[in-house]
Chains A and B, each alone.
Chain A
Amino acid sequence: MTPPGTLAAAWLIARKDLAIEFRTRSAFLSALVFSLLAIVIFRFSWDPTAVAALDLAPGVLWVTFTFSGLLGMHRSFGVEAHDGAMDALLVAPVPREAIFIGKALANLLFVLGVQAVALPAVVLFYNLPVGNGVFALIGVMLMAAIGLACIGTLFAGMVANTRMAELLLPVLALPFFVPIVLPAAQATAQILADRPLSASLAWLRILLAFDLVFVYACTLAFPFTLED
């Protein structure tokens, strides 16, 4: 009987979270409906004679991704709080870091799932030309999703046992989302404007640097959020 290593335990936890989400679909449907509603509302409040679609769309995309992602991240620790399930996870012989990596991985797949539906909706509603830059755009979304999932998971764990978790999570996480969302939105704008990838390179480097910082810092910080 050898307990699983950090990555194996993280994968078990991620699989368990995804299985729960697949059964209930509550967070994914909420995030999806929120995303589509936000995109539609932005579309109807948009004056095309004042602002070009290419200028507005990156903002719409990243506002939508950021807030819809938070819905799933809040839910990821909600399932642990129910009837004390987190205690069983903490007693199990797995490193605390594995819990974070597993939760963050499940949240990453959640955010990517929402993005996979929201991106075509934005392209459709704003009639965006993404033909050549679609793979670059997917790359930016993946890089940003990694940072968002790490920060969101850390703060979701931190506020899970507080009375106002739904309020505290966005208040605490949003300032830390800025270094991820800003370069992601800027790179998205460059790609949608059909500029060469070299024009986005500086933003992509910033995004990658913050991804690395947040993956490392959040993994190290997470065990301390579990202390009473």
Chain B
Amino acid sequence: MTANALVEAAGLVRTFGTRRAVDGLDFALAPGECLALFGPNGAGKTTTLRVLAGLLKPTAGTARIGGHALPAVEARGRVGLISHRSMLYDALTARENVVFAARLHGLTDPDAAAERALEALRVADRADVAVRALSRGLQQRVAVARAIVHAPDVLLADEPYTGLDEQGSAALTALLQERRAAGAALVVVTHHLHEGLALASHAAIMLSGRFVRFERAAGLDVPAYAATYRGLVA
């Protein structure tokens, strides 16, 4: 176990039948670190994130959040998950969805926390509208508000920019940077190299369940990295 690591994967393997979707990942993220995970469709990025969120059990190896092995309640309580799916109840309003999440995390003032989260995503003015009546982009903003309402130590984001317009993307980037500055560890899965690298302290390219590259993002030549990426996934 790596001291001080908020996110830790050791020999992480996840199989579906005979297919190894995640094939022996080892990495650790300390507070304030962000891993940008790139790779083509089917590389195992989403499966990795789902294991780190406690939604899938590892077939072998371990995944830990703040030193707690997943899917322990202590580990899950420190995680915020953003997906390309909204994970919202469309019959409830934006506020009700976020307040419900806040209550499940045991926040002392769920209403105030929900209001803050919705304001951070610039969607507070639509807080009392049913989610089904919101556009896809606004739903994604509410989904992000739901994921960050409890100020998680670890934020796992799978294609978080899906459906967001320019203003929404800027709000999300600012929020992710703010969470990182506050000491949260982030894992961001994205196909957008520039956005990912701008956020990240570490970058990894994943192919067939393995990291084929894993390095510090600082000082990376982005055009050269993009060319390498294109060459690897071609």
Contacts and interface: CB of A to CB of B under 8 A. Distances in A.
A10 to B, nearest CB: 11
A93 B100 contact: no
Contacts of A19: 91-92, 96
Contact of A16 (B55, B85, B90, B92): B92
A228 interface: yes
B83 interface: yes
The B interface is mostly helix, strand or loop, or mixed, namely loop
Interface in A1-59: 1-4, 9, 12, 16, 19-20, 23-24
Contacts of B86: 83-84
A90 interface: yes
B95 interface: no
Given A16-B92, A19-B92, A83 B73 contact: no
B79 interface: yes
Contacts of B91: 19-20, 23-24, 79
A84 B81 CA distance: 12
Given A3-B106, A87-B87, A94 B92 contact: no
A93 B83 contact: no
Contacts of B92: 16, 19-20, 23
Interface string A125-136: 000000000000
A16 B73 contact: no
A85 B88 contact: yes
Interface in B146-175: 146, 150
Interface in B162-221: none
Given A20-B89, A85-B89, A94-B73, A4 B104 contact: yes
Contact of B76 (A1, A93, A227): A93
A95 B90 CA distance: 24
A4 B57 CA distance: 24
Interface centre among A9, A12, A79, A82 (most CB of B within 10 A): A82
Interface residues of B, number: 32
- Give the one of B53, B77, B130 with max A CB within 10 A: B77
Interface residues on A, range: 20 to 34
Interface in B110-137: 130
B18 interface: no
A91 B76 contact: yes
B104 A92 contact: yes
Contacts of A89: 104
A182 B146 CA distance: 45
A88 interface: yes
B57 A79 contact: no
Interface of A: 1-4, 9, 12, 16, 19-20, 23-24, 79, 82-85, 87-95, 227-228
18 contacts: A1-B105, A1-B107, A4-B104, A12-B100, A19-B91, A23-B91, A24-B91, A83-B88, A85-B89, A87-B87, A88-B87, A88-B101, A91-B53, A92-B77, A93-B74, A95-B73, A227-B57, A228-B55
